[in-house]
Homo-oligomer: A and B are copies of this chain.
Amino acid sequence: MLTVYGMKLSGNCYKVQLLLEQLGRPYRWVEVNSAAGETRTPQYLAMNPNGKVPLLELEPGRWLAESNAILCFLAEGSPYWPQDAWLRAQVLQWLFFEQYSHEPYIAVARYICRWLPADHPRRAELPRLRERGAQALAVMEQHLATQPFFAGASYTVADIALFAYTHAAADGGFELAAYPQVQAWLDRVRAQPGFVALAAA
C-alpha cells in the first residue's frame, strides 16, 4: 500500500491526493504539520533530507519527494501521462513552469495572506509576488485560448499540478475574473471523473 506524507491544506500535497483519487488507487495518508516542525525531525529527514511534503513511500526505505515527480511516477500507464513523446515533453514543460514561474508566487502569496498575521513583515513581498503571479496567469490564459488542456486535447498531470494553486489563487489576492480562459479550464478540471476538492481550512 502506498503511503503519502502530506498536509491536506497544501496545494502541492493536494496534487498527489487528487491524482490518487482519480486513479482509484488505495493509499494511506499520514498528516504531517510542517508549521509544527514535523518535516524537520530526524525521522522525517531520514525519509526526505530536503524536509518537505509531499513525500510518497512505496514501501519502507523507498521514498520519492517533489510533488510533480510523484505525479509523473504515479500517472505512468494511465491516461494522465501521454504515450506520445512530444506530448510528454509538453507535460513536463508545464510541470517545470508550475514549480518555477507559478508556485513560488501564487502559492507563497496564498501562504502569506492565509497563515501569517496581518502585520507580518513578509507582507512586503506581496506586490512582487502578485506581479509575477499575474505574469504566470497571463501565460496560462494565452495558452488555454488555443487548447482545452495544457498538453492538448486531454487532461493530464500538467492540469492537476497547475490546478492545485491556480484555483485557490484568490486566497493570495489574485483576481481570477481577469482570466476567463483560466476560469473555463478550472471548470473543465472540476468536471473530470474522480475529482475531489482541496480541503477547506
A residues sitting closer than 8 Å to B (CB atoms) are: 49-50, 52, 58, 62, 64-70, 72-73, 76, 85-86, 88-90, 92-93, 95-97, 99-101, 103-104, 139, 142-143
Are B104 and A89 in contact, CB atoms less than 8 angstroms apart?
Answer: no
Given the complex of chains A and B, what is the CA–CA distance between A138 and B6 in angstroms? 23
Residues of B near A50 (CB, < 8 A) are 97, 101, 139
A89-B73 contact given A49-B142, A96-B68, A139-B49, CB 8 Å threshold: yes
Residues of B near A97 (CB, < 8 A) are 50, 65-66
Min CB distance A53 to B, Å, is 13
Min CB distance A133 to B, Å, is 13
Are A89 and B101 in contact, CB atoms less than 8 angstroms apart?
Answer: no
Are A93 and B76 in contact, CB atoms less than 8 angstroms apart?
Answer: no
* A100 nearest in chain B by CB position: B99
Given the complex of chains A and B, what is the CA–CA distance between A118 and B139 in angstroms? 34
Given the complex of chains A and B, what is the CA–CA distance between A183 and B143 in angstroms? 42
Min CB distance A66 to B, Å, is 4
Given the complex of chains A and B, what is the CA–CA distance between A139 and B49 in angstroms? 6
Residues of B near A104 (CB, < 8 A) are 100, 104
Given the complex of chains A and B, what is the CA–CA distance between A93 and B50 in angstroms? 11
Given the complex of chains A and B, what is the CA–CA distance between A97 and B64 in angstroms? 11
Are A73 and B99 in contact, CB atoms less than 8 angstroms apart?
Answer: no
Residues of B near A95 (CB, < 8 A) are 69, 96
Are B68 and A92 in contact, CB atoms less than 8 angstroms apart?
Answer: yes
Are A66 and B49 in contact, CB atoms less than 8 angstroms apart?
Answer: no
Instruction: Kindly name the residue among A89, A97, A103 whose own CB sees the greatest number of chain B CB atoms within 10 A.
Output: A89
Residues of B near A101 (CB, < 8 A) are 50, 52
Are B93 and A64 in contact, CB atoms less than 8 angstroms apart?
Answer: yes
Residues of B near A70 (CB, < 8 A) are 89
Given the complex of chains A and B, what is the CA–CA distance between A130 and B97 in angstroms? 24
Set B69, B90, B100, B143: member contacting A93, Cβ < 8 A: B69
Residues of B near A143 (CB, < 8 A) are 49
